[in-house]
């Protein structure tokens, strides 16, 4: 049994030394890992700081851009209102023109009917009878004209 105890004690001693080495190795790896983690945390913090500074630099220009956009939109709204007013005025003018055109059309129709009636009246005139009547009038008036010319 003493051999067994010696083996066990050598094994236990070896195992404790191995455990200590293993623990030391693990602690060294943890230390290295913590150093890397700390380095990444510092890089992240620096990047976040740069990002915050960049955002703070951009915000004022963004606010001025938003103000300019708001002013432009107000101008667009005013232009749209003016355009609507102009369109309404044009529509009113078009309605007046349409009414005038209807009145003109009614006038032209009436004038056309009157001209047709006049043309028909002219066509009904018997020019031969009119010429005969003018000659008869001339024959009647000529002796009177000679008579009155003597008193002059």
Per residue of the chain (152 residues), give pLDDT as tens: 455 555 555 555 668 888 888 899 999 999 999 999 999 999 999 999 999 999 888 888 888 898 999 999 999 989 999 999 999 999 999 999 999 999 989 988 888 888 888 888 877 777 788 888 888 888 888 888 888 888 76
- The total number of structural domains in the chain stands at 1
> Cα 66 from chain centroid?
19
Cα–Cα distance list, 38 to 29, 30, 93, 145 (Å): 14, 12, 79, 141
Q: How far apart are CA 120 and CA 114, in angstroms?
A: 10
- Residue 46 maps to a domain: yes
Tokens of 58: 């951009």
CA angle 82, 87, 92 (to 5 degrees): 125
- Residue 43 maps to a domain: yes
- Residue 78 maps to a domain: yes
Tokens of 65: 């851009």
Q: What's the half-sphere exposure (Cβ side, CA atoms, 13 Å) at 134?
A: 6
> Cα 41 from chain centroid?
50
- Residue 125 maps to a domain: no
- Residue 38 maps to a domain: yes
Q: Does this model's pTM top 0.75?
A: no
- Residue 127 maps to a domain: no
Torsion-angle region of 148 (φ positive above 0: left; ψ -120 to 50: alpha; else: beta):
alpha
- Residue 51 maps to a domain: yes
| Domain region containing 64 | 2-115
């Amino acid at each position: 049994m003493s051999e067994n105890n010696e083996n066990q004690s050598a094994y236990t001693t070896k195992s404790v030394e191995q455990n200590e080495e293993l623990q030391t190795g693990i602690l060294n790896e943890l230390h290295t890992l913590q150093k890397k983690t700390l380095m990444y945390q510092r890089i992240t913090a620096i990047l976040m700081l740069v990002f915050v500074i960049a955002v703070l630099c951009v915000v004022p220009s963004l606010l001025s851009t938003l103000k300019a956009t708001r002013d432009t939109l107000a101008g667009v709204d005013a232009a749209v209102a003016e355009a609507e007013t102009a369109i309404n005025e044009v529509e009113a003018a078009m309605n007046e023109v349409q009414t005038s055109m209807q009145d003109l059309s009614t006038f032209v129709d009436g004038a056309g009917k009157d001209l047709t009636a006049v043309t028909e009246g002219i066509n009904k005139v018997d020019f031969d009878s009119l010429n005969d009547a003018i000659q008869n009038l001339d024959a009647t008036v000529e002796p009177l004209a000679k008579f009155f010319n003597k008193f002059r």
